[in-house]
Amino acid sequence: MRPFRIAYAAAAALTVAGALTGRERLQWIGKPAMMPLLAADVVRAGDALAPADRRLLLGSLAAATVGDVLLIDPDDDRRLVAGASAFAVMQTGYSALWWRRGARPRVAVALPRIAAWAGAGALLRVRAPRIAIPLSAYGATLGTAAVLASDPGLAPEAETVAGMTVPSSDPRSRLGLGALLFTVSDGLIVVRRLFARTSRARRISEGVVLGTYAAAQYLLADPEVHRR
């Protein structure tokens, strides 16, 4: 049993419920606890992780905690930009971690992400020019981490489809899915910011953003993926 990951799932469910119902207080209870619970699971893994890997993983989760708190109010553009900066630190840490473990960019994996990044950046420049540059810069760090996490070389025995690993019992094979969920979550942040006009639409879209984000972090920060 891994109690910290069970507690993480409960905190994530509370956070999503708070977003869907518009009860910010629930988010203030659940969301700041999410990444520290994953960090506690990393610490619990002890010497199963190389010291450098553990430091990178814990540092990334600390940066994500800052971003989580800032983005409890996603409708404030200043907090959105500050949160993106914190998550850029997290994505850079993840990239360094997966590079250390042998991940390398592959053209088939990188091209669709580059296209998505360019499309989102162009849309932001037209619809929200004040935040276009910082969010596009964050998108570059997200794309880099996602490309590395999706390298089939991280789980060489797993099956691959369209250049990505198919999730299996091997925790390493789930990194690609985690990266995809993170990309979907962040893409939905842009969609929400630009197109969600009603309170109901903003609540539902924020719930989906947080649900996919929580699932992504659950897969990406699993210390079983990063064992020596």
What per-residue confidence (pLDDT) applies to 227? 86
Contact 34, 217 (CB under 8 A): yes
What per-residue confidence (pLDDT) applies to 43? 96
Does the model's pTM come out above 0.85? Answer: yes
What per-residue confidence (pLDDT) applies to 133? 95
What per-residue confidence (pLDDT) applies to 218? 97
Residues 6 or more apart in contact with residue 157 via CB below 8 angstroms: 170
Contact 164, 150 (CB under 8 A): yes
For the chain, what is the HEC assignment?
A: CCHHHHHHHHHHHHHHHHHHHCCHHHHHHHHHHHHHHHHHHHHHHHHHCCHHHHHHHHHHHHHHHHHHHHCCCCCCHHHHHHHHHHHHHHHHHHHHHHHHCCCCCCHHHHHHHHHHHHHHHHHHHHHCHHHHHHHHHHHHHHHHHHHHHCCHHHCCCCCEECCEECCCCCHHHHHHHHHHHHHHHHHHHHHHHHHCCCHHHHHHHHHHHHHHHHHHHHHHCCHHHHCC
What per-residue confidence (pLDDT) applies to 113? 87
**Tens-binned pLDDT, residue by residue, of the chain (228 aa):** 799 999 999 999 999 999 999 999 999 999 999 999 999 999 999 999 999 999 999 999 999 999 999 999 888 999 999 999 999 999 999 999 999 999 999 888 889 889 989 999 998 999 999 999 999 999 999 999 999 999 998 988 888 877 678 888 888 999 999 999 999 999 999 999 889 889 999 999 999 999 999 999 999 999 999 887
